[in-house]
């Protein structure tokens, strides 16, 4: 079983990529239906995206 790369930051950037785990909106939505080999590939792509973004980011909080 491949664990989810989610780290509970759960904020999408303008490209619909989570700034916490690096997965796309589509990858997040389909995660529970994927087989382990597919999850492994998604996790590898997500890590590469995060690395290219400089690592996980905390969401920016705005005052209301």
pLDDT band at 64; cut points 50, 70, 90 = low
Note the pLDDT of residue 34.
98
- Find how far residue 37's CA is from the centre of its chain: 17
Note the helical H segments in the chain.
Answer: 25-30, 36-52
Per-residue pLDDT tens over the stretch 7-63: 999 999 999 999 999 999 999 999 999 999 999 999 999 999 999 999 888 777 767
What global pTM score does this model have?
Answer: 0.86
């Amino acid at each position: 079983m491949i664990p989810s790369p989610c780290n509970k930051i759960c904020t999408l950037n303008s490209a619909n990529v989570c700034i916490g785990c690096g997965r796309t909106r589509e990858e997040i939505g389909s995660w529970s239906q994927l087989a382990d080999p597919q999850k492994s590939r998604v996790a590898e792509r997500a890590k590469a995206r995060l690395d290219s973004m400089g690592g996980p980011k905390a969401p920016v909080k705005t005052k209301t």
